[in-house]
Amino acid sequence: MAAAQGRLSDDAGGMEDPKGEDLHTGETVPPAFRAAVDTLRSARPRPQIEIEPTRAPKRLAPHAYALEATVVEGDDDLADGRLVLLHDPAGHDAWRGTFRLVTLVRAELEAEMAADPLLPEVCWSWLTGALQARGLTYGEPSGTVTRASSHYFGGLSARPAASQIEIRASWTPREGRDGVPDTAAHLASWCDLLAQVAGLPPAGAGDTSVVTLPQRRDPQSR
């Protein structure tokens, strides 16, 4: 699986033990965080999106759990990403809550699409639109949309120029009455974003309300 290689922030640390202890500190995992993680583990995305756990950053919050995903069609990887669930039982002023979701999503683009001056705004609207489409309430969204072009020279001059879009974002999911956010729905929204960036059609039959990026001509082979 092609992991999202860009670092969200900080270094990568230990994973939460499913039995309820943090393997790095030995501290007991709060029930709310354990429930949120269990929901993430049980979620099933659309077939083209492959998801697996990965190492989570340790210095962003007392508790963290991370997933990486690749959008696959045939033998081609169309996009990849990383989603991190953070939890601070004491609350966090900047989050205005005890949970935070942080993401990195990347895909290669056609050169003409990368040159569109409205592309950053459109990509950001895909994130907020994906959350709103599933009726999710969230707060304190922030992030960046970056597009980059690579041109090759010398011994690499045979390679065609390539363009890439990268979305980094975070938001605070609304917690339910039990203090646990609906992480399954947020994961589904994130998968919707990945599919849009990859150029896949909407998952729902007949749903033409969502505009996706056209698939690039030379997707990365697996």
In this structure, how many other beta carbons lie within 10 angstroms of the beta carbon of residue 47? Answer: 9
Q: Is residue 96 within 8 Å of residue 170, measured between CB atoms?
A: no
Q: Is the pLDDT of residue 198 over 80?
A: yes
Find the helix or strand (DSSP H, E) in which 138 lies. Answer: strand 138-150
Nearest by Cα to 81 from 209, 208, 196 = 196
- pLDDT of amino acid 204: 56
- pLDDT of amino acid 222: 53
Instruction: Give the residue-averaged pLDDT of 134-151.
Output: 92
pLDDT, tens digit, 9 for 90 and up, residues 92-107 = 899 999 999 999 999 9
What is the rounded distance in angstroms from the CA atom of residue 208 to the CA atom of residue 203?
A: 10
Quickly state the pLDDT bin for 89 (edges 50, 70, 90): very high
- pLDDT of amino acid 12: 33
Quickly state the pLDDT bin for 162 (edges 50, 70, 90): confident
Q: Is the pLDDT of residue 35 over 90?
A: yes
Instruction: Give the residue-averaged pLDDT of 77-99.
Output: 94
DSSP string, 60-84: SSSEEEEEEEEEEETTEEEEEEEEE
Domain ranges of the chain: 31-199
